[in-house]
Structure 1
Amino acid sequence: MEDNGAAAAAAAPATSMPAEKRVAVIQGDAPPEPAAGLLPCGPRKTGLHLFVMNIRSVFKLDGLGSEVLRIAVPASLALAADPLASLVDTAFIGRLGSVEIAAVGVSIAIFNQVSKVCIYPLVSVTTSFVAEEDAIISKAVRGNSSQEEDVEKASHVGFDPETSNLHASGPAGMAECVNSCIPTECAADPSGRQGRCEKRYVPSVTSALIVGSILGLLQAVFLVLSARFVLNIMGVKSGSPMQGPAVRYLTIRSLGAPAVLLSLAMQGVFRGFKDTKTPLYATVVGDAANIILDPILMFVCHMGVTGAAIAHVVSQYMITLILLCRLVQRVHVIPPSIKSLKFGRFLGCGEIPLESRARIIISTLRKEIELFVSASGFLLLARVVAVTFCVTLAASLAARHGPTVMAGFQICCQLWLATSLLADGLAVAGQAVLASAFAKNDSKKVAAATSRVLQLSIVLGMGLTVVLGLAMRFGAGIFTSDVPVIQVIHRGIPFVAGTQTINSLAFVFDGINFGASDYRYSAYSMVAVASVSIPCLLYLSAHNGFIGIWIALTIYMSLRTIASTWRMGAARGPWTFLRN
């Protein structure tokens, strides 16, 4: 998938491209340079001008602004909904005591680490895969619609479409058909002609669901069987008062892992369709159920942290069910049946033997899954391990300083992530818009969209700094009544609130890099960032405790932002078109 530009450049002839070649187009080693003739500012030696390009239009609701806003706002709300629900969980659990909130904090860190390692590469790849394949298939459908109209006109003057050689029926034709535009079911209008396409089969959707389901089951089994062992590694030893509630919470919450990974995979699919409203709706409904069930199970039923875990698991399965119901209404989530293949001629499938069609579909699905778990997926896996390990290590180091420090760290970390993830909405918008623009070879839109989301991320970060600083100073008592824990929270204000602009840029750059399919650099640079950040965490935590952990996390986020800024500023990789 690292070749968005080539995928779009080949979109027109994609309907006649063999399976292996189409896969290569989508999965090339590096994106090609978009056509530079459309650049609004002419060639540049660096890409740093994108930070200020058209800065007066940062809040302008033009075509680009409306598109970014339409994607970013629902995505931001959806992405922030779960951390905000976790904040509510934290507030309820805080009423149980500092030991309980510290125990839950360690458990959440473990669960998130394993979940993100399992699914985040798949979600990121899925968003771009779906955006690219949907664009290619849509163009193929439009092209074949035009061809069909021409055929119909020709038939009036004696041309017989049944005997024409528009599409080969041999082995090459089979691959051409299935891989360019695997069957789409279309509604027929009253005149009897093929109408608007309502459902289609996008290979990445099926692959994401299959891989997500398998990984979710494996994660659940792993965490249930190894809860005590993993907590021990995290610093919660057998004699710690945190171990009992931590084991109970982690074990029960692990039962929701299949739902978590499936819902995240489907969110990646909807983002690829530039639909962020559906994930928002599902997430809000599920999190509302979580918030309602929390006090009932925890205090009315006297289940404590066990009730909090059950509430979270129920909410995750609700989110998954809603997303799945909406997804099957939009696309085929499994390879089309033999019966549905009768629409193949509309997309140029010709007369292919049924057995051959089945073999082609199975082969295509296998290739897609292999791509997810090999090339781009492997690079993103390395990147996510580096990203999440730093935060997980920070939680582990905080736990080693005792329940009070861990409780304070958990509250600070939840606030840090909940507000920072608002910028992830901009990242989703940037990824979807850029993936589509690269696929269409539209360099002007690539530059304009990059500039707009970067500028918006800076504005968002500055606003979050003010809001979060005031909220932490005067609202810490919402999460706990323990005075020592509140004092720890106040010590973290300069770091949690002060890094919001840096965090926003780091998250948005992630979306930009993924939209440009720059997975290789993203992976390697993040491993380099982690190799510096991890020693900083170990050293500063040992010498400066809670403050040292947050200094190291600030260094970590700063290095992430610097690494991505350098890539774009140097006009390397997918940004080389800025030089032309």
Structure 2
Amino acid sequence: MDDENPRENLDTARGGGLNGEILRLAIPAFFALVAEPLFLLSDAAIVGRLGTAQQAGLTIAGQAMATVVGCCVFLAYATTAAVARQVGAGRRREATRQGVDGIWLALILGAFIVAAGVPLAPAIVGFLGENPYATEYLRVALLGAPGMLVVLAGTGILRGLQNGRFPLAVSVAMFALNLGLNVLFVLVLDWGIAGSAWGTVTAQTAGGLVYLGAVVSLARKHRAGLRPDLRGLRTAAASGFALVIRTVTLQATLVLSTRAAAHQGTDVAAAYGISSRIWMLSSFLLDAVAIAGQSLLGRHLGAGDVARARAVTRRMLWWGLGAACAFGAVLLATRTAIPPLFDASPSVSALLLHALVVVALIQPLGGLVFVLDGVLIGAGDMRYLAWAGVATFAAFVPAVRLAADHGIVALWVSLGWWMLIRLGTLAFRARSGRWLVTGAVR
């Protein structure tokens, strides 16, 4: 887990060209990110053997967990951008200290989520759609929040330090552990849907412990200190507040979609759950390019290299669009093979096949949206992202209400409308150039 000299990193990146610079971070980021949706996909494949009601319960509880963790994703994104700026300015000790503050904030937030979330699990499930299996899963799954948040913060630190290999290795190990434990707990020991939750909690906690060890090692190497710093915690929380607002609007969009699907019946909820996980898989592919943008933009702006920042942005947009179109084409060509993977009933399979057509067609929008979002996060333009998130959510609400009684295809069309509005707000900001602020601190 060595971290090289930042100036050497800059020279190497320039020598390898823009494509090499992007791929060096994007490829490990993709395989690290894809472990999280694969958690849910593997859980869905195993829980699907228990029945459609359990599959629908996993959809509801999975969305609740995604919302909880998603609202804390600033621990990764804001940390990546802040640490990368310090690295670009040659201030590695300060970069590591910011990372330590992020880890402490993750532990505090994780403890709060467990304390508040477990007793509120029935109410949370009741809001999304009544399902006893969802409550059973959620009560256990919430126990993994501290580990998962530490994983987010630790990932942000290492990506900011231009190290994508360590997060990749940890994510692969977490996925393998989660899969093995789910098979053992659900299919062998017959623990039911709770067994799936216990497998995920165990994998998340193990990943969190690995990152704690890695950050402690970095802090000692750079003499950054390990004790919690109140000023640093306040700074970390304040810098992430606008990003929390942006993320809350994204998660609220997905919550409303899940709720609309659940209210249309068990079959629609199960089909939407599978199709949304496929969509999330593509989103993480595109987010890998966005994460490369966060790291590279933060580093180049920290070093005062505006021309390089603009060039990287243009190249990443092409990469994002190309990856999205490729994923959409593959999904259209292979969609009939997907329902059997989840042991879906005939009625769920029919709904799923229609939904996947729309999921494939909206991929190009996602390719541009995710890259531009990553660019602005890397530049630290969080306030604009917060206001843009509020505006796009407001535009989505009437669309999802209209789609709520018209089936799963209409529901996915409303999500495509949301992505189109997001693209408009992000492209407007990117063209203005107001996000190009240089220096170690925005």
TM-score (norm 2): 0.92
Query: 2:372, 2:430 within 8 Å by CA — same for their partners in 1?
Result: no
Counterpart amino acid of 1:547? V
Counterpart of 1:444 in structure 2 is 307
For each residue in 1:114-162, what CA deviation from the matched residue of structure 2 results, as whole angstroms up to 9, or x when unmatched? 1221x222322111111122333448xxxxxxxxxxxxxxxxxxxxxxx
2:416 to 554, 564, 570: 554
The alignment status of 1:227 with 2:127, answered yes or no, reads: no
Matched AA of 1:565: A
Whole-angstrom distance in 2 between the partners of 1:253 and 1:499: 31
Could you tell me how far 1:336 is from its partner in structure 2?
Answer: 5.2
Alignment counterpart, residue 249 of structure 1, candidates 137, 152, 165:
137
Give, in angstroms, the shift of residue 261 of structure 1.
0.7
1: CA distance, partners of 2:204 / 2:350: 33
Q: Determine the structure 2 residue equivalent to 1:207.
A: 101
Structure-1 residue corresponding to 2:231: 367
Find the counterpart in structure 1 of residue 24 from structure 2: 70
In structure 2, what is the Cα distance between the partners aligned to 1:122 and 1:481? 36
Other-structure match for 1:88: 42
Question: Could you tell me how far 1:262 is from its partner in structure 2?
Answer: 0.8
Distance 1:92 1:267 in 2: 28
- Within 5 Å, give how 1:527-542 maps onto structure 2: 527-542=390-405
Structure 1 position 126 matched with structure 2 position 79: yes
Aligned amino acid, residue 217 of structure 1: A
Answer 1 or 2: higher relative contact order, Cα 8 Å, separation at least 6: 1
By percentage of residues, which structure has more helix? 2
1:106 pairs, out of 60, 79, 88, with 60
Alpha-carbon contact 2:86-2:302 (below 8 Å) kept? no
The letter for the 2-side match of 1:550 is W
> 2-side partners of 1:391 and 1:445: how far apart?
35
Percent identity over the alignment is 27
**Is structure 2 residue 284 aligned with structure 1 residue 390?**
no
Task: Report what 2:147 is aligned to.
Answer: 259
1:323 aligned residue: 211
2:89 is paired with a residue whose SS is: helix
Which structure 1 segments of 5+ residues have no match?
1-7, 12-59, 140-180, 183-200, 237-242, 341-360
Q: Which residue of 2 aligns with 1:292?
A: 180
> What amino acid maps onto 1:266 in structure 2?
G
Alignment of 1:326-341 (within 5 A): 326-332=214-220
Q: Deviations along 1:389-427, whole A, 9 cap, x unmatched?
A: 101110111111111110000000000001221111111
For 2:367, the equivalent position in structure 1 comes to 504
Alignment CA distance shift 1:73-1:305 (3 Å): same
- Is the CA contact 1:541–1:547 (under 8 Å) kept in the aligned structure 2? no
Q: 1:108 to 1:333 in 2, by over 3 A?
A: farther
User: Matches of 2:117 and 2:150 in 1, distance apart?
Assistant: 17
1:509 counterpart SS class? helix
TM-score norm. by structure 1 comes to 0.70
Q: Which amino acid aligns with 1:573?
A: R
- For residues 179-214 of structure 1, the C-alpha deviation after alignment (integer angstroms, 9 at most, x for no partner) is xx56xxxxxxxxxxxxxxxxxx72211210111001
Amino acid of the residue matched to residue 436 of structure 1?
A: R
2:435 is paired with a residue whose SS is helix
Would you say how many aligned residue pairs link Structure 1 and Structure 2?
Answer: 427
Q: Give the SS at the match of 1:96.
A: coil
What code does the residue aligned with 1:369 have? L
Indicate how the Cα distance of structure 1 residues 475 and 122 shifts in structure 2: closer, same or farther if over 3 A, else same: closer
Aligned match of 2:110: 216
Aligned partners of 1:491, 1:459: CA distance in 2, in Å? 24
- Mean Cα deviation higher: 514-523 or 449-458: 514-523
Structure 2: unaligned runs, 5 residues or longer: 1-5, 8-13
1:473 Cα offset (Å): 2.2
- In 2, the alpha carbon distance for the partners of 1:532 and 1:333 equals 49
CA distance in 2, matches of 1:378, 1:440: 25
CA contact (8 A) 2:86 2:299 kept: no
Which residue is equivalent to 2:3? none
Rounded to whole Å, the distance in 1 between the matches of 2:429 and 2:102 is: 29
Structure 1 vs Structure 2 CA RMSD: 2.3
Of stretches 491-500 and 94-103 in structure 1, the one that deviates more from structure 2 is 491-500
**Separation (CA, whole Å) in 2 of partners of 1:253 and 1:127:** 26
